[in-house]
């Protein structure tokens, strides 16, 4: 092929537009709802739901298709949470939430929703790679880049709070960095809406094993919950998210998880009763700026009244530090 012919043909590769796709005829007997999704490929599977990549035959694009496990189809609590996740995500309408395309039921009556297929890495994956000393990750994500990711996550959460929504399940795995430097906060299934009744759930004892208790069915992820959530306090506000963001900042600084335990009782005891080591004590080998450690420790105050008053105040502290 000559250079001129190659230039006219254009580059090949995934994601490159082709007229055969964009100009494909839209049939009069077009497919709607779940019928328009084809070529399902399992991306991940948790205790509650499954994520697939799927191809939208009408718009000729790949999306993420989320649905509950079959055995939870009639589960009232998980159905409510699934609907809440979809509707909260759709209505927060912020650049830091993944665009949601459709909510519906398939031909068997199973709930599903579709959203943008984001290509990137979550913060859990990044921190684990940093802990293992992966050279490529270390080069790609120095501390300032990680703080930028956290700052953008705070912007999203602060916006959600301004709309009356508390996330309640913030953790590194729920912060995703995608293309073009965009950071997404995902998984709003445990969100609490101010002034609205919470989704009822059965009591769970402190002696239950967090590895056996489906994450999110009651507390959110045990290792990232605020003390007031662990105590089962009725009145929860945005400072619960401040605490979780403080835990994420702690991991960014130290590359290790702060709260641990083999059983729920041990996790709760470590959270409520044991002193937290400072980041510089937990990871003396890391170069941790004193100002960042101060921000982290204030966000991690066990009494909500001693933390930042809201995520906006935490965000302001991080932004002020970045500007100095």
| pLDDT single digits (tens) 66-91 | 999 999 988 998 998 899 899 999 99
pLDDT tens digits for range 117-143: 998 999 999 999 999 999 999 999 999
The stretch 291-308 carries a mean pLDDT of: 97
- On whether both 146 and 276 belong to a single domain, the answer is yes
Residues 54 and 154 in one domain: no
Average pLDDT, integer, range 152-159: 97
Percent of the chain residues past pLDDT 70, beyond the cut: 82
Q: What is the pLDDT of residues 207-241, one digit of tens each?
A: 433 333 343 334 467 899 999 998 888 888 999 99
pLDDT at 228: 92
- Given a contact cutoff of 8 angstroms between Cβ atoms, the answer to whether 170 and 223 are in contact is no
What average pLDDT is seen over the chain? Answer: 85
- Angstrom distance (rounded) from CA 229 to CA 219: 7
Q: Helix-strand-coil percent breakdown of the chain, rounded to 5?
A: 45, 15, 40
Domain count within the chain: 2
| Count of Cβ atoms closer than 10 Å to residue 73 Cβ | 14
User: Which residues touch 114 (CB under 8 Å, ≥6 apart)?
Assistant: 37, 54, 56, 63, 64, 65, 66, 100, 101, 102
Which SS3 state, helix, strand or coil, does residue 165 take?
A: strand
Based on the domain organization, do 188 and 310 belong to the same domain? yes
The CA dihedral of 38, 52, 104, 122, to the nearest 10 degrees, is: -140
For residue 220, the enclosing domain spans 121-323
The angle at the Cα of 224, spanning 324 to 74, to the nearest 5 degrees, equals 135
Reported as type and span, the H/E element at residue 41 is strand 37-45
What pLDDT, on the 0 to 100 scale, is given for residue 133? 96
Residues 125 and 268 in one domain: yes
Q: Who's near 129: CB < 8 A, 6+ residues apart?
A: 137
Q: Are residues 143 and 235 in the same domain?
A: yes
pLDDT of residue 206: 39
- Angstrom distance (rounded) from CA 277 to CA 279: 6
Whether 107 and 127 share a structural domain: no
pLDDT tens across 174-210, in order?
Answer: 999 987 889 999 998 888 877 555 555 433 343 433 3
**Same domain flag for 137 and 111:** no
């Amino acid at each position: 092929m000559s250079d001129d012919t190659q230039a006219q043909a254009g580059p090949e590769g995934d994601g490159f537009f082709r007229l055969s796709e964009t100009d494909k005829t839209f049939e009069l007997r077009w497919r709607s709802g779940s019928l328009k999704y084809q070529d399902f490929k399992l991306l991940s599977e948790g205790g509650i739901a499954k994520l697939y990549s799927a191809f939208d035959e009408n718009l000729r694009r790949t999306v993420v298709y989320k649905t509950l496990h079959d055995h939870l189809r009639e589960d009232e609590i998980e159905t409510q949470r699934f609907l809440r996740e979809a509707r909260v995500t759709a209505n927060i309408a912020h650049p830091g939430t993944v665009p949601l395309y459709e909510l519906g039921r398939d031909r068997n009556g199973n709930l599903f929703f579709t959203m943008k297929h984001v290509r990137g890495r979550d913060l859990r994956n990044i921190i684990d790679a940093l802990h293992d000393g992966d050279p490529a990750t270390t080069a790609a994500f120095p501390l300032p880049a990680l703080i930028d990711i956290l700052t953008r996550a705070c912007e999203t959460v602060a916006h959600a709070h301004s709309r009356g929504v508390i996330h309640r399940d913030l953790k590194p795995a729920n912060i995703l960095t995608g293309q073009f430097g965009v950071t997404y906060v995902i998984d709003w299934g445990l969100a609490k809406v101010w002034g609205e009744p919470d989704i009822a759930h059965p009591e769970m004892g402190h002696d239950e094993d967090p590895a056996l208790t489906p994450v999110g069915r009651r507390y959110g992820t045990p290792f990232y919950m605020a003390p007031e959530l662990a105590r089962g306090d009725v009145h929860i506000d945005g400072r619960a998210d401040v605490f979780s963001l403080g835990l994420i900042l702690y991991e960014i600084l130290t590359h290790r998880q702060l709260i641990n335990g083999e059983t729920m009782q041990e996790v709760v005891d470590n959270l409520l009763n044991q002193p937290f080591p400072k980041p510089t004590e937990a990871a003396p080998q890391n170069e941790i700026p004193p100002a960042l450690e101060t921000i982290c420790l204030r966000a991690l105050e066990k009494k909500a009244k001693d933390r930042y008053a809201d995520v906006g105040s935490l965000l302001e502290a991080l932004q002020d530090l970045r500007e100095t």
